[in-house]
Chains A and B, each alone.
Chain A
């Protein structure tokens, strides 16, 4: 095989057994790799009713066939498992260098089964695999864990690990790699913690072979030039990072504010990318093979929130910033640093704190519940304190670390949890941007922007964009983005390469790398297949069309101030057309004809 390594590594932690198997060629062709391959394996090998934190769940680290090549930004991998936050197949995507290293060690996927008897970590060096005692690193933050594991294995090893949040099975726990990259959402870190697995360290001496080196090189150079020439891929993201979005979302009146109570935050500029560049940025940083360099190496000198690390990204700056009524960038960045160190999802935690703030201001909870903290919107010190407590799992923080849905429901008010399918929505108010609302509602993993980023067209599209305020055409837009992203995620490329290239270029590079002829139509069809496979799992878990919705606030309560004042999301105008265009029945169930077309029966 080319692009793929041809080998899957399987580690059973219960039995302490390591085995290898050949990558199924047909599965690889039909699902590509990474997210797609992981979705297929989880669908085939895990009971949808299994306890996500039990030994029968499996945890998969999977790069794609492009991962580790010099295709632009081709450093991605996915962590795939039954997500404990909401039961979906969590496929959480990350960058850095871990994915390429797993390919160089010789693997298309690492499948982890069972549960170790005591805290353990994996050390993979090519075909040597050890399950090692993690007693000395259990309890450590992710940076300390990374340093300790490298010292015990190889200083050039790439390390993916959980922090204390994952050890404590926090449903918002993530997996960090290279200290600052995150497989962030849906609680994948809790699954790793439930297996008593602290870290995976990998080092590889191999390489990725491509089928047609000349064609691959030509396709890659063309794609690199297209990205370089694009205003965003070539310059904008490097200058300001993703946090540049704060101001534009605010200026269109769709920056969710104070737990989505409003869509406009007058002092938003203080936490935007321009302020970040001026006050905290040391330098941009890119992942493996990346020319975009959206990453931020940052530091905070303010003694109250002193620290250094990477980030914040836009969603993080939003969740701890305007969503909590806060405009103190130092505090926001500190919260970001804490989440990275302790291994917790910044989007969900910030949104959960915002939910708690609303519960507090409405009198549903009091200082007695919140360990004496006046948890009100705009209380910067309270936000940072609650972030710290959630990270360490102490006091009220332990409840926060389980997410806003369980928090709000436990106090009898689930309506204040800004979630879809129990996962917190990110930083785009769908009352002002109709299509992203449809994406949130129909998202297979719940509240999520990246898997159907219609914002690129509805807000950032320039002359080629679509009006964010209309619903016409949005079902087709969402479906296109969802299918394309599923295929892209599975290839190992980075979503941000689409600031420059599109499906044709991705299919071209994939074909030259693997030797399998992927047309654009086939590439998108694979994405559709993956999306439908995820949907089938969700139906088996118990999700129904009733779950394809938004919080009532977004359907009924208009935005109060700003340019989108008076608007709600008109999901009912879009959802029926979405089901129809997807080839699903009126209950959102894929028809037999559609499943046959996608070879899912």
Chain B
């Protein structure tokens, strides 16, 4: 599984991407593992207490997990995960 970071998450993670050889079963578990790796600032950016932050955009294979089960979204070994802060433009 490839996890890619964008915008401020590149600073929070200190890297652009990470390959995960044994991905966890769900998005929630993945984010917990990543937060454990990257620290408190990363944790605050992806979690709102125990819930998924309403202003984080987590995509699994291009789908926003807010529409696929949130933290319970299942993960498969070949999945592509993209993590964005809330962004905007036009």
Contacts and interface: CB of A to CB of B under 8 A. Distances in A.
User: Are the chains A and B members of one assembly?
Assistant: yes
Interface of A: 231-232, 236-237, 239-245, 247-248, 251-253, 272-274, 294, 313-315, 432, 449-450, 453, 455-456, 459-465, 467-468, 495-496, 499, 562-564
Secondary structure of the B side of the interface? mixed
B75 to A, nearest CB: 15
Q: Which residue, of B7, B85, B89, has the highest number of chain A Cβ atoms within 10 A?
A: B89
A515 to B, nearest CB: 32
A464 B54 contact: yes
Contacts of B41: none
B88 A563 contact: no
A221 B22 CA distance: 50
B59 A232 contact: no
B1 interface: no
Given A253-B62, A462-B54, A467-B67, A273 B7 contact: yes
A463 B82 CA distance: 16
B25 interface: no
Contacts of B55: 231, 462-463
B6 interface: yes
A462 B57 contact: yes
A244 B7 contact: yes
A461 B84 CA distance: 12
Interface residues of B, number: 27
Nearest to B86: A231
A314 B7 CA distance: 14
Nearest to B54: A463
Interface in B36-90: 52-57, 59, 61-64, 66-67, 80, 82, 84-90
Nearest to A458: B64
B62 A313 contact: no
A259 B54 CA distance: 34
Contacts of A240: 7, 87
Contact of A563 (B6, B56, B62, B67): B62
B10 A274 contact: yes
Contacts of B66: 461-463, 465
A262 B40 CA distance: 39
B26 interface: no
Contact of A245 (B4, B8, B54, B89): B89
Given A252-B59, A563-B62, A462 B86 contact: yes
